Amino acid sequence: MYEFKTAPFAHQRAWWEKTRDAEVYAILWEQGTGKSKLTIDTAGWLYQTNQIDALVVIAPNGVHRNWVVNEVPTHLPNSIARESVCWQSSKAKTVGFKKHCAKALDFSGLLVLAMSYDAALTKAGDAILSKVLGQRKCMMVLDESARIKNPKAKRTIRILARGKHAKYRRILTGTPVANSPFDAYTQFAFLSPKIWDEAGCRTYAAFKNHFGIWAERLDPRSGRKFRELVRYKNLEHLRAATAAVSTRVVKSEVLDLPDKLYTKVYFELSAEQAKLYRDMKEGFSLQLAAGEVTAMLAITQLLRFQQIVSGFVATDDNEIVELEENPRLNLLADTVSDLTGKFIIWAKFTAEITRIIERLTKAGVECVRYDGRVSADDRAEAISRFQGGTARAFVANPAAAAEGLTLHAATTVIYYSNSFKLTDRLQSEDRAHRIGQSHPVTYIDIIAADTVDEQIVNALRDKLDIASVVTGDKIREWI
Q: What pLDDT, on the 0 to 100 scale, is given for residue 253?
A: 82
Of 439 and 51, the structure prediction assigns the larger pLDDT to 51
Mean pLDDT confidence for 189-206: 93
d(CA 442, CA 161): 34
From 10-19, 268-277, 322-331, 466-475, the region with the lowest mean pLDDT: 466-475
Q: What pLDDT, on the 0 to 100 scale, is given for residue 471?
A: 60
Q: Is the pLDDT of residue 474 over 70?
A: no
The model's pLDDT over 405-420, given as tens digits with 9 standing for 90+, comes to 888 899 899 999 999 8
Q: What pLDDT, on the 0 to 100 scale, is given for residue 403?
A: 66
Judge contact between 414 and 328, C-beta under 8 A: no
Number of neighbours of residue 243 by Cβ within 10 angstroms: 11
d(CA 411, CA 413): 7
Q: What pLDDT, on the 0 to 100 scale, is given for residue 100?
A: 95
Q: Which residues face 262 on adjacent strands?
A: 443
Mean pLDDT confidence for 394-402: 86
Judge contact between 69 and 85, C-beta under 8 A: no
Same fold, 10-192+245-253 and 260-268+323-478: yes
The model's pLDDT over 287-299, given as tens digits with 9 standing for 90+, comes to 777 777 677 778 8
The model's pLDDT over 44-69, given as tens digits with 9 standing for 90+, comes to 999 999 999 999 999 988 889 999 99
Number of neighbours of residue 230 by Cβ within 10 angstroms: 10
d(CA 341, CA 393): 9
Judge contact between 301 and 452, C-beta under 8 A: no
Q: Is the pLDDT of residue 172 over 90?
A: yes
d(CA 208, CA 201): 9
Q: Is the pLDDT of residue 435 over 80?
A: no
Judge contact between 385 and 365, C-beta under 8 A: no
What ranges do the domains of the chain cover? 10-192+245-253, 260-268+323-478
d(CA 88, CA 18): 35
Judge contact between 218 and 207, C-beta under 8 A: no
Sort 100 into a burial class: Cβ within 10 Å, 0-12 / 13-18 / 19+.
middle
Class at the top of the CATH hierarchy for domain 260-268+323-478: alpha beta
pTM strictly above 0.75 = yes
Mean pLDDT (the chain) is: 90
The DSSP letter of residue 30 is: P
Mean pLDDT confidence for 366-383: 91
Q: What pLDDT, on the 0 to 100 scale, is given for residue 85?
A: 96
The model's pLDDT over 93-116, given as tens digits with 9 standing for 90+, comes to 999 999 999 999 999 999 999 999
Mean pLDDT confidence for 457-467: 86
Fold adopted by 10-192+245-253? Rossmann fold (3.40.50)
Q: Is the pLDDT of residue 317 over 80?
A: no
Q: How confident is the model at residue 244 (pLDDT cuts 50, 70, 90)?
A: very high
Q: To the nearest whole percent, how much of the chain has pLDDT over 90?
A: 65
